[in-house]
Amino acid sequence: MSKPRSLSLPGKIGAYTILVLFSLFAIYPVLRVFSLSIRPGNRLLTKSLAIIPENATFHSYYQLFFEEPFLRWMLNSLLVSTIVAIIGVGLATTAGYAFSRYRFPGKNSAMLAIITTQMFPVSMLLLPLFIMLIKLHLYDSYLGLIIAYSATALPFTIWQMKGYYDTIPYSLEEAAMIDGASPVYTFYKIVLPLALPAIAITALFSFMTAWSEYLVAVVLIQDTALFTLPLGLKNYQASMESSWGLYSAGAIIVSLPVVILFMFLSRWLISGLTLGSVKG
């Protein structure tokens, strides 16, 4: 087993300098948005470089939550994204398993067909999606959005799950079979626990697909009560006057759940859980 290389002092200093620089590079824009969100009034442009502006105030946040329907949109987004993530995990884990382990007619064409759908840009799919959902009477509804998002996220997640299952040695399942486990029991007790890193990625990817999506939502959703966060945010950026304070405060809040989810799942995102089971 390889251990992380230990660096010499100059090496450490060099490594941390580079890491700090890149972190700043990534964090600075977020900080600017944050500083925008706590500026009094509605000022976008300023000469000050201070992160915490003069007369800093959380008024924009207060407004968002108590005067605007922002909380409502947030719940909408949370609902849609969570359901998409659940559907994504449920379908991708099982479909990926079938593609990885079973042989059936049309398997290869199905795999190919699934990945082909990824070749079309969303803007090209918008019209057919729109027409389909209208015919299904799912226009302007959560369900329509959920179906659209699940369909977008699934091809990638199915492939991803299949790829991960391929790395789990089949002999583990054979051993379970001989030990007396049914296929379903083997799937739940042996295969799924080992696939947790891939499931975490599937969940995260599905959630993110729905959480930050704008184009499909803007076409499918008209009712402001059904707005998801990206739609709501865009709402503050009107053609005549943009509410930059609300906009930036919203942007900060929108990114928080993703960060939290990522931190929660990151312990599963480490690979190598199957290390030690077999030697090959």
Partner 1 sequence: MATVELVDVTKIYENDVVAIRNANLKINDKEFVVLVGPSGCGKSTLLRMIAGLEEISSGDLFIDGQRVNDVPPKDRDIAMVFQNYALYPHMNVYDNMAFGLKLRKFPAAEIEKRVREAGEILGISEFLNRKPKALSGGQRQRVAIGRAIVRKPKVFLFDEPLSNLDAKLRVQMRIEINRLHKRLQSTMIYVTHDQVEAMTMGDKIVVLKDGVIQQIDTPMNLYNNPRNLFVAGFIGSPAMNFLQGELISERSLNFRTRGIQISLPPETARALEKTGIKEVILGIRPENIHDVKLTSDRNLSQPIDITIDVVEPIGNEMFLYFRAGDETLCMRTSPDKIYHSGEQIQVALDMDKMYFFNPETEERIA
**Token pair belonging to 259:** 């960060």
* Residue 154 within binding range of partner 1, rule CB under 8 A: no
Compare residues 170 and 264 and give the one whose CB is closer to partner 1.
170
* Residue 174 within binding range of partner 1, rule CB under 8 A: yes
* Longest alpha-carbon distance in the chain: 73
Q: CA 98 to CA 89: how far, in whole Å?
A: 14
Alpha helices in 42-69 (DSSP H): 59-66
Do the beta carbons of residue 146 and residue 252 sit within 8 Å?
Answer: no
Of 78, 110, 126, 169, the one binding partner 1 by CB under 8 A: 169
Q: How many residues bind partner 1 (CB under 8 A)?
A: 23
* Residue 166 within binding range of partner 1, rule CB under 8 A: no
Q: Kindly give, in sequence order, each residue whose CB lies less than 8 Å from that of residue 106, ignoring residues fewer than 6 positions away.
A: none
Q: What is the CA radius of gyration of the chain?
A: 23
CB of 275 to partner 1, least distance (A): 5
Q: Which helix (H) or strand (E) holds 91?
A: helix 70-101
* Residue 177 within binding range of partner 1, rule CB under 8 A: yes
Of 46, 171, 237, 242, the one binding partner 1 by CB under 8 A: 171
CB of 100 to partner 1, least distance (A): 17
Q: CA 92 to CA 81: how far, in whole Å?
A: 16
* Residue 208 within binding range of partner 1, rule CB under 8 A: no
Half-sphere exposure of 224 (CA within 13 A, CB side): 9
Compare residues 86 and 181 and give the one whose CB is closer to partner 1.
181
* Residue 188 within binding range of partner 1, rule CB under 8 A: no
* Residue 255 within binding range of partner 1, rule CB under 8 A: no
Compare residues 62 and 185 and give the one whose CB is closer to partner 1.
185
Angle at 128 between CA 122 and CA 130, to 5 degrees: 90
Closest CA to 195 of 161, 241, 148, 244: 161
Among all chains, which residue has been given the structure tokens 């060099």?
14
Compare residues 38 and 190 and give the one whose CB is closer to partner 1.
190
CB of 11 to partner 1, least distance (A): 29
CB of 196 to partner 1, least distance (A): 9
**Token pair belonging to 226:** 């059904």
Compare residues 190 and 201 and give the one whose CB is closer to partner 1.
190
CB of 88 to partner 1, least distance (A): 23
Of 22, 185, 188, 264, the one binding partner 1 by CB under 8 A: 185
* Residue 69 within binding range of partner 1, rule CB under 8 A: no
CB of 175 to partner 1, least distance (A): 4
Q: CA 174 to CA 181: how far, in whole Å?
A: 9
Residue 240 phi, psi (nearest 5): -90, -55
**Token pair belonging to 71:** 């909380």
Compare residues 29 and 276 and give the one whose CB is closer to partner 1.
276
Residue type, 232: G
List interacting residues with partner 1 (CB under 8 A).
169, 171-172, 174-181, 185, 190, 193-194, 273-280
